[in-house]
Every structure is written in C-alpha cells, then in structure tokens.
A and B are shown apart, each in its own frame.
Chain A
Amino acid sequence: MHDSAEQTTAEHDKPITRRQTAVYVYEAPVRLWHWVTVLSVITLGITGYFIGVPLPTMPGEAIDNYLMGYIRFAHFTAGYIVAIAFIGRIYWALVGNSHARELFCPPLFRKRFWQEVGHELRWYFFLEKTPKKYIGHNPLAQLAMFFFFVLGMTFMIITGFALYGEGLGQGSWADIAFGWVIPLFGQSQDVHTWHRLGMWFLVVFVMTHVYVAIREDIMSRQSLISTMVGGWRMFKDDRPD
C-alpha cells in the first residue's frame, strides 16, 4: 500500500509534497508582547478618547471625585507599558528568530516581494482562487504591519511622551527626550491634534487587523489566531505553496 503510493507519485512526476503541518513561528516573548499591546492599546484608545472628549460632569464636590485623574493615570500607565513593551519587542527582533524581524524590515527592494503583494491584493479582491502559504506574515500583511502598526505606534509613542512631558514639567526626562517634538509641530495644540489623528489611524489598523486575522483564519491555508496564542503555525493542506 505504502509502496504503491510512492510509485504513483514518481510516475506522474508530481511536485514533492511538503509533509510539514506545524512550524514554531512566534516565540513566547513575541506572543506576550502582542497580548500586552492589545490590552494596552484598548486602554489607551478608550481613556484617550475620554481625555479629549470627557464624560458628563460628575455630581458632588470636587474632593469626592477624581474621575479625570484616574482616566489620565490609566492612560499614562498604559502608555508606559506599551512603550516599554515596544522597546522589548525591538530587542527581540534582534535576538529572536527570523519571524521576529518581519515587522520591522519589510524587503521593500525585492521584486519578488512586490509580486507576492500583488498576489495577496488579487486574493483580497477575489481575483485569485487560492491563497499562498506563508510561515510568517504574508507580504501584504508585512507591509501593512510596518506602515500602519510600527510607524503608527512609533508616532504615538513619540507624540504621547512629548505631551506627557508637558505635565511632568520642563527639565523632566520626557521633556528632555521628547520636548523638541512640540515646536516641530508648531505648538502644544497641534501635537494634541496629531496625537488624536494617530488614535484614529490605530483604530482603523485594529479594525482591519482583527477582521483580516479572523478571515484568514477561516479562509487561508494556515492557522492565524491560534498561532498568536500557542506560537505554532498549522497548515490545513499538504499541497505546495
């Protein structure tokens, strides 16, 4: 039985089947970073929205309330966590496996990369019947991750700490490290405006990211959501890429 199967393969000169159904892609620090960032970004988005457009007025005396104080505290704490986690993630890009680097350096000058981006785009426009298999990110995802997430997050961290430095005061670490951002944009209110636009930029990223992750998990040929939990990429078929 086993012999005859091999025989048929040789006879019809079929491509060699890759019998690999699971690859370890996301190491523990990457997964931990992902979920820490998820929680922080949700916190930052909600608290940030209410810092810009506060909730209805609290009843009672001022001494009995500290709502804005708590909201701002949550925002600043989540901001610190997301920034430190982001630095940790950059460190892991240097020491981790090759998939840990995908986010930060998409091969923008490789022709094949752009061809595959084109293939992915056609797949999303329902012009390709079958998607390709990818162990890490597909090229389109890699591109989106870089331009939406990495650049967006960097922008939010820099403008965020510049605004935070205003509260800490002149001469504080945040003012020394990021205070230059404020005259660069014009004045404080301009930085606030751009930070607000950055929030909406990340909201759009999160919406797209979650939708695409669920859709790919269902329709593509590999696992997605479980991969970010357990780290292993499962393939659904044995056909070649």
Chain B
Amino acid sequence: MSQIETFYDVMRRQGITRRSFLKYCSLTAAALGLGPAFAPKIAHAMENKERTPVLWLHGLECTCCSESFIRSAHPLVKDVVLSMISLDYDDTLMASAGHQAEAILEETIQKYKGKYILAVEGNPPLNEDGMFCIVGGKPFLDQLKHAAKDAAAIIAWGSCASWGCVQAARPNPTQAVPIHKVITDKPIIKVPGCPPIAEVMTGVITYMLTFGTLPELDRQGRPKMFYSQRIHDKCYRRPHFDAGQFVEQWDDEGARKGYCLYKVGCKGPTTYNACSTVRWNEGTSFPIQAGHGCIGCSEDGFWDKGSFYDRLTDIHQFGIEKNADEIGTAVAGGVGAAIAAHAAVSAIKRAQHKGDQE
C-alpha cells in the first residue's frame, strides 16, 4: 500500500463533513464515559491511524446480538464506523453471499494479518466434530479457529460467545461451549447479554478502533466501563428496596406504584450490566422500568438457575430440584426431630439409672 487508509479518509469519501466528524468524536467520547478532553484525542486517532477491519462471525446463535446492534441509538457509530468503514465480513448483514462472501473473509485475514479484530456472535458446538453448526460447508469450529489465529483481539458478543447461553444450558446436547474454551491464546473481551445493549456493543468496538487497545477488563474479561456495577446498584427502583417496599403479586398495589421487584425474582442484585443506566432502544426503557424483573441474561448460566420469578436458585445436586431454603428447612427440621428424640431417650435413661452413678 502506497498510503495508509485512515478512518477519517474513509469517512470523508463517504460524504461526511468535518463538522459531523467532530460531532461524532465528542458523542463517542461521551458514550464511552470519557471526559471532554478525549474528543480531540479520538479525532486525532481517527485522522492518523490506519483503519482496523472487523470480522464478525456467527456460530450457534439466534442473531439477537445483530438485531440489537443495528438498533444502536448513535447512527454514526453504527453506519459509519462499522457498516461503511470497518465491518469487512458479517454474513448476516453484508450484501455479498456464498463464495464471494467467504473470499472477503479470506482476503481480510491475509491482508491484515495480526491486525484485525474478530467479533464472534454465538458459539461453537463440539459434539459430533462440530457438525451441529456448519458455515460455508465447514464446521463453525474450524472457521472460528482459522479466523482467530491471526486476530489482534477477539470480542465475544453476547452470552452465547461469553458463557454458552441457551444452547449450552442443561443438558447441552450439542456440547456448545463459550469461545474462550476453544481460543486460549488471544485476549477475549466478553460483552455478555442476551442480547447486549447496542450502545455497549458500539462503545466497546469504537474504543478499540480509536485507541488501538483493549478497554479495561474485570476479572471475568468484561469491559469495566459497562459491566462494573450490578443492575441493582443503579436501579431507579432501589429506594423501594432499601425502604422494604416490594411487589408481592403482579397485580397488587406495589406493582402499580413501581415498587422493587426483588420478591418476584428480579435478578438485578446479581447481574452485572448497564441496563439501568444506558437502557434500551435509544434510552427508552429497560425490563425493570417496564415492570418485569431482570432475568440476569448477562450472567453465566442464567438459564440453569431455576425460575425467573424466584430469588433462590434451584439446586440440582440432590436429584430433585430444591432451593437452599427448602433444603435448609428440611435438614434443620430433621435435626430438630433427632434432637428431640435423643433428649427423650436421654431423659428416660437418666430416670432409669437415677441413683446408680452418685
């Protein structure tokens, strides 16, 4: 290449004015939770850095991540950064199909060896040599490993790629596994959720494209800027929780008044996500605001934690499904009965031998 192609070059070629470009930079800085001082830095990066292509693969999935993504509230982020500039391969969104599409994938991998970002939606099934998910005539597992080999970094979109989600729920007949089980030599950024919030997805990808580094991750590999707090910590119904005011029934006075949904099984206190701050569909609402508890879709194995309407998890280790309180009450009751019986026998024995010992 005679001259490097920057993000800015591509943007201008697409007819974006400099004014719109700068607006986009400030918007992105705000969306990422960065200060105003970062807008010029983003602009500088986009004007001078070679564009980073993104390859978007689809494994075993429902495509809800893509559905969420194309509803991003910041159209500039979606259309400009990804559709026009950087998204080189995404078999559900791209115009080309068949051999043509697969050729683009191959071309990008060759041309940008070690530089492109691989985004994975869905996950690979391992059973039957990966035959439960075939892309372009080959198991998805092979495509994933092939594309991951030369990637700079990998983004795991959604709960499927991050944790396994519904296809990995018990009994998991296809033996679907999260991508970190098959790709062990690359940094993986987990963006869990079923689906993840559109602004979170574009925010993560924009951060990586502009700064060329991974966002700061927590212990489980999730970007701290969006996953460092629980839904509960920033929930607008939190004052009702602290006050002890709960929805007890779906049609009671508390439900009408918008009390805390803890008692009807809201998983907000155990779910790390940005729903209560970023919200959904251009910031319109999120599940709790709509009157239903959080189901914890961005948490590991959320399908296997029992009812969506119960705070206590079902425990399967005992053969029958019981929660901690049912087990605890049964055991404590049993021990109580044993103590009573033992005390009775002790009293009888003592009465029989009264005077023997002294």
Contacts and interface: CB of A to CB of B under 8 A. Distances in A.
B332 interface: yes
B313 interface: yes
Nearest to A218: B350
B278 interface: no
B148 to A, nearest CB: 23
A45 to B, nearest CB: 11
Given A166-B230, A190-B313, A196-B328, A55 B219 contact: no
B327 A186 contact: no
Contact of A68 (B244, B325, B328, B329): B244
Contacts of A179: 219
Nearest to A210: B339
Nearest to B358: A237
Contact of A196 (B263, B296, B312): B312
A51 to B, nearest CB: 10
A211 B347 CA distance: 13
Interface in B312-342: 312-313, 315, 323-325, 327-329, 331-332, 335-336, 339, 342
Contacts of B327: 197, 200
A203 B336 CA distance: 10
A57 B233 CA distance: 20
Q: A interface, how many residues as a size bin?
A: 35 or more
Interface stretch (A14-22, A24-32, A59-67, A83-91): A59-67
A57 B349 contact: no
B349 A126 contact: yes
Interface residues of B, number: 55
B8 interface: no
A208 interface: yes
Interface stretch (B48-56, B118-126, B138-146, B235-243): B235-243
B331 A67 contact: no
B357 to A, nearest CB: 7
B68 interface: no
B331 A204 contact: yes
State the 8 A-B residue pairs at the shortest beta-carbon distance, nearest first.
Answer: A200-B328, A67-B244, A65-B243, A188-B270, A196-B324, A189-B270, A62-B243, A69-B242
Interface of B: 218-220, 224, 228-230, 233, 239-246, 248, 254, 259, 262-263, 267, 269-272, 296, 299-301, 305, 311-313, 315, 323-325, 327-329, 331-332, 335-336, 339, 342-343, 345-346, 349-350, 353, 357-358
Interface of A: 52-58, 62-69, 71, 124, 126, 129-130, 166-167, 169-170, 179-180, 182-183, 186-190, 192-193, 196-197, 199-200, 203-204, 207-208, 211, 215, 218-219, 237
